[in-house]
Chains A and B, each alone.
Chain A
Amino acid sequence: DGGITQSPKYLFRKEGQNVTLSCEQNLNHDAMYWYRQDPGQGLRLIYYSQIVNDFQKGDIAEGYSVSREKKESFPLTVTSAQKNPTAFYLCASSIRGLAGGPGSETQYFGPGTRLLVL
């Protein structure tokens, strides 16, 4: 089955700790995205990548880092600089990416990772 997987489903972070959220897709999509969802707010874009070895900051990139070494994988690291990391994190992908900005085509979402701070 083709799709997007995210792991873990729940993640706990201690103060001052970096944690990495995994996102893998086997849809052969070029573009991948990370979103953050907070209660009562719309999704906000953290980072996106339109092609391997390239990525761009979204609206709320501070305190986060990403890499895109493989087409299938787009891990997100929540660093200790992110002071309010508790949220639901969603990864998504789309076919082309380079055809337009993030939102110019249908995106396929993973099941999400809920990050909690201890």
Chain B
Amino acid sequence: KNEVEQSPQNLTAQEGEFITINCSYSVGISALHWLQQHPGGGIVSLFMLSSGKKKHGRLIATINIQEKHSSLHITASHPRDSAVYICAAFAYNTDKLIFGTGTRLQVFP
């Protein structure tokens, strides 16, 4: 079992829908990252959070440390949001960043 699990693996949506991507982890962490990988391969860091909630534009990331779970929400989704979304947990006992395998999101007009 991977230490960082994402669900779903693939997600399709119609433009305007509210999207939720989930990330569960089994290690103790000091930070959790959400990344966006575009079809060309480039990766952009969206959020780094250790508690609560962060918002940037239409993107919202939340984390529940007790439940070892984080979610990435996209409001009013748009075709340009189509990408692979990756969560990565920074494990404090090993100082390692453990990556999930990603959620592939396709938003259709």
Contacts and interface: CB of A to CB of B under 8 A. Distances in A.
A104 B33 CA distance: 9
B69 to A, nearest CB: 17
B61 interface: no
Interface residues of B, number: 26
Given A59-B96, A111-B40, A42 B45 contact: no
Nearest to B101: A42
Interface string A94-118: 0000001111111111111010000
A60 interface: no
Interface in A15-72: 40-45, 59
Name A's interface SS.
loop
Given A88-B41, A114-B41, A102 B102 contact: no
Contacts of A40: 101
A85 to B, nearest CB: 17
B42 interface: yes
B73 to A, nearest CB: 20
A90 interface: yes
B3 to A, nearest CB: 10
B44 interface: yes
B95 A101 contact: yes
B85 interface: no
B100 A42 contact: yes
Interface in B72-101: 86, 88, 90-91, 94-101
Instruction: Choose among B30, B40, B43, B45 the residue with the greatest number of A CB atoms under 10 Å from its CB.
Output: B43
Given A90-B43, A103-B90, 12 more contacts: A42-B86, A43-B88, A45-B96, A90-B41, A100-B90, A101-B94, A102-B97, A103-B33, A104-B95, A111-B40, A111-B41, A112-B43
Interface of A: 40-45, 59, 88, 90, 92, 100-112, 114
Q: Which 10 interchain pairs have the tightest Cβ spacing?
A: A101-B95, A103-B97, A42-B99, A103-B90, A109-B43, A112-B41, A43-B99, A111-B42, A106-B45, A106-B48
